Chains A and B, each alone.
Chain A
Amino acid sequence: MDNILEVKDLNISFHTFSGEVQAIRGVNFELKKGETLAIVGESGSGKSVTTKAIMRLLPPQNSEIKSGEILFDGNDLAHLSEKKMQKVRGKDISLIFQDPMTSLNPTIKVGKQIMEPIIKHQNASKSEAKKRALELLSMVGIPNPEQRFDQYPHQFSGGMRQRVVIAIALACNPKVLIADEPTTALDVTIQAQILELMKELQKKIDTSIIFITHDLGVVANVADRVAVMYAGKIVEIGTVDEIFYNPKHPYTWGLISSMPSLDSTEEALYAIPGTPPNLLHPPVGDAFAPRNEYAMQIDLEEQPPMFKVSDTHYAATWLLHPDAPKVDPPAAVVKRMKQFQAGQEGQ
């Protein structure tokens, strides 16, 4: 499969009053045509910053792409002019936000908000754009599109608004869709509906999706591949099966151990001890070392490179170094891995 988007050694800093915060420290990944890549990690790990950088939506006053390339369609988005970038946004790459309650303009009719990118990028006339907007509304499952077209966002429920946001994002059949926690603000039944809708529409218009979330349940549901981010770096990347059944990085182990499951009534829910490092003064060695019970001396001294586990699976932990002692993943992960496998066989 071809890569539609390649992020190479991306470094992003924010300039604050207390100094330079190195939010993204050398991120590499590629997005293949038609796949869904999930980026997971805790708050502040740099998930959203990475994707905002791809769309160049970071505040220009205090953020800076220090180095790296974002290759899309033969262009390096990291260094594209604002004018040219405007032609990419909404047309080739579009965005879905976390909170549908705030991501629609409260003073503009829903229909007009959907028409906007169509008129902008496809040189459509008003009536053509309206026709397309009505199609989109029914495509995302909004009943009575004709009537809904002339309504304002406050007349829609949360789930319906997120459908409208999806309609806007898909208006120009984008090649890449970035979904920044699109279901976090919705209740569980609506979450499932929206995820189903996204999967269905992805097939229909053949787009690639970057799906940001901190909900591993959602990841298992939608993603083809998963990138785990920690402290501004991707620490492990692989296919869904590899990340869930054969995780290699202690941080991924921690994430998987802290996932609640239906039969976990007896045990207390696991939490990774400690807090993420302050990226104002990033640690010299592995950023996860202070919270890592398997940390070795070298973890404190030198950052681990990406070790190859398989052709699709890489992890940045010294535990994968040939000289490292063999460690078994924590019991919870092993148990869970067995559960996953059992579940897989049962299906």
Chain B
Amino acid sequence: MARYITKRFIYMLITLFVIASLTFFLMKLIPGTPFSAAGKLSPDQLQIMKDKYGLDQPVAVQYAQYIGGLFKGDLGISFQFNNVPVTQLLIERIQPSLQLGFQAIFFGTIIGIVLGVISALRQNTWVDYGATFIAVLGKSIPNFVFAGVMQYYIGVKLGWLPVLFWKGWDYTIMPTIALAMFPIAITARFMRTEMIDVLGSDYITLAKAKGASSLEVAFKHGLRNALIPVITVLGPLAVSLMTGSLVIEQIFAIPGIGEQFVKSITVNDYSVIMGTTLLFSFMFVVIILVVDILYGVIDPRIRLSGGKK
């Protein structure tokens, strides 16, 4: 197991290096400069600015410098936010996004699994149809609609929860719900299909034949076997939620990373684009690794170390 993880870790570094290189060159193809007032600057002034930040050097040299910095853990400084180091900026900005994304995926998955299992157990009853209805809503209605509706009714009319900003746990509830609708829907649908499949298998009948109650059968014998396909979809979904949602962050005025990433692209803030891309890629490969390890935890047939202990 340790050997497997080491191997995966090395692959991960290689992947990140390739991503860093690709993004770097792609970014250099975007026209324009990171200097917001570029239009008002004279060519000489622009030249001085470029010179200062090393942007006038050949791309190959810039690339070497950047990669060199990466190995030292230096992601450069932001052009847009008053020369703040990118690392510091990312840490500040990722925190709310990570928290929101994690809460959404955590509660979303649990609720989704419960809904899915109940649907499967009460197949073709009103409970099942109700759960299906919620799932269809969650999947088809964009999350900013939920966000707006909640802000108006729960925030403004009832005054139960704060409408905007990011100042404490109660501020996270509404954005979490808005973000969680999608994972709830996805998990519930997958879980229902898988669970119906699993509940029809011989080992479930045998578990019943041993005298287990239907809840015991579903959760002790069925759940684990039905989880594999769900985990597969959840991995990438978790990353996309934790890397911040531009729309939700805008609506709830949350200083998250999604908003900042989009902004940095429009103003050619090279080092921030690079840093954010690398951070997202890093999260992605880590989650994929976690998912692969989870497979083995859930299903002994796909233990990674090859069966011998």
For chain B, give the interface size range. Answer: 20 to 34
Report the stretch among A94-102, A230-238, A263-271 that lies at the interface: A94-102
Report the stretch among B170-178, B201-209, B266-274 that lies at the interface: B201-209
CA distance A102 to B207 in the complex (A): 12
A116 and B210 contact, CB distance less than 8 A = yes
A117 and B211 contact, CB distance less than 8 A = yes
A89 and B210 contact, CB distance less than 8 A = yes
B211 and A106 contact, CB distance less than 8 A = no
- A86, CB-defined interface residue at 8 Å: yes
B184 to chain A, nearest CB (A): 25
Measured CB to CB, the nearest residue on chain A to B201 is A102
Chain A 88-133 interface residues, beta-carbon cutoff 8 Å to B: 88-91, 94-95, 97, 99, 102-108, 116-117, 120-121
A41 to chain B, nearest CB (A): 21
**Chain B residues within an 8 Å CB radius of A86:** 211-213
A168 and B210 contact, CB distance less than 8 A = yes
B128 to chain A, nearest CB (A): 11
Q: From known contacts A61-B123, A97-B202, A99-B202, infer whether A107 and B209 are also in contact, taking CB-CB under 8 Å.
A: no
CA distance A116 to B298 in the complex (A): 19
**Chain B residues within an 8 Å CB radius of A168:** 206, 210
- A37, CB-defined interface residue at 8 Å: no
B120 to chain A, nearest CB (A): 12
Of A91, A99, A107, the contact of B299 (CB 8 Å cutoff)? A107
- B307, CB-defined interface residue at 8 Å: yes
**Chain A residues within an 8 Å CB radius of B300:** 106-107, 152, 154
CA distance A94 to B211 in the complex (A): 9
Q: From known contacts A61-B124, A107-B224, A155-B307, infer whether A97 and B205 are also in contact, taking CB-CB under 8 Å.
A: yes
- B139, CB-defined interface residue at 8 Å: no
Measured CB to CB, the nearest residue on chain B to A99 is B202
Chain A 55-77: CB-based contact to B (< 8 A → 1; otherwise 0): 10100010000000000000000
CA distance A155 to B207 in the complex (A): 20
B290 to chain A, nearest CB (A): 19
Of B209, B213, B224, the contact of A55 (CB 8 Å cutoff)? B209
B225 and A107 contact, CB distance less than 8 A = yes
- B72, CB-defined interface residue at 8 Å: no
**Chain A residues within an 8 Å CB radius of B210:** 89-90, 94, 116-117, 120, 168
B18 to chain A, nearest CB (A): 36
Measured CB to CB, the nearest residue on chain B to A109 is B300
**Chain A residues within an 8 Å CB radius of B205:** 57, 95, 97, 103
Chain B 295-309 interface residues, beta-carbon cutoff 8 Å to A: 298-301, 307
- B221, CB-defined interface residue at 8 Å: yes
A-B contact pairs, 23 of them (CB 8 A): A57-B208, A61-B124, A86-B212, A89-B208, A90-B209, A90-B210, A91-B211, A97-B202, A97-B205, A103-B206, A104-B206, A105-B221, A107-B224, A107-B300, A108-B221, A116-B207, A116-B210, A117-B210, A117-B211, A120-B210, A152-B300, A155-B307, A168-B210
